[in-house]
Structure 1
Amino acid sequence: MEQHHRRPAAGFHRASGRQRQCDGGWIDYLDFDPGKTQICLSVGRLIHDDDCVKVLAGSAMLVGDEDLHISGIIEIPARCVVSIVRLEEKKP
């Protein structure tokens, strides 16, 4: 006996005045508004610096005499970096 697999048909109705949207936050290309550029400030130890990427560590800890452990790694594309400012502690 031969089996036939059929896909169920689905009908969609659009409510008047509402635009159809895909699930997952997708929007129609014509509705895209890029908005203003965001300016972010990141503070940390600069642990890697080249023409491709700047890498910051938010925290660093010396374990024992020589083992340096880092956490809070932030990778920033170099072309997005506007400036790098060295922070210095003010002496009272």
Structure 2
Amino acid sequence: MKLGLINSAWVQANQPTVFGLQKTKELGFDTVDIFIDPLDADVKERRLIKDECDRLDLPIVSICCVAVGLVDFNPSVQRFHVDRVKRYLDLVYEYEA
């Protein structure tokens, strides 16, 4: 069994992403779950996370996605969230999660 931590634990503590990933590894966690919105994160931030996790040998096992609009009654809201979820899946592929 492997023990993992979600990176938002550090974000909520107002700590930078790299600091949080380093502390996650330092504390003995084996994996990390990434909470990031692909619509808000630029390429540089996405690469920073992947590169630092690779450097630390801290595998990304999941990407946390909130898309409650998938069940909205408004078709345009549904379409937006379907497109958003596709962006999450692209990020999962990019992170090899």
Structures share fold, TM-score greater than 0.5: no
Choose between structure 1 and 2: higher strand proportion.
Answer: 1
**TM bucket normalised to smaller:** under 0.3
Choose between structure 1 and 2: higher helix proportion.
Answer: 2
TM-score normalised by structure 1 residue count: 0.23
TM-score normalised by structure 2 residue count: 0.23
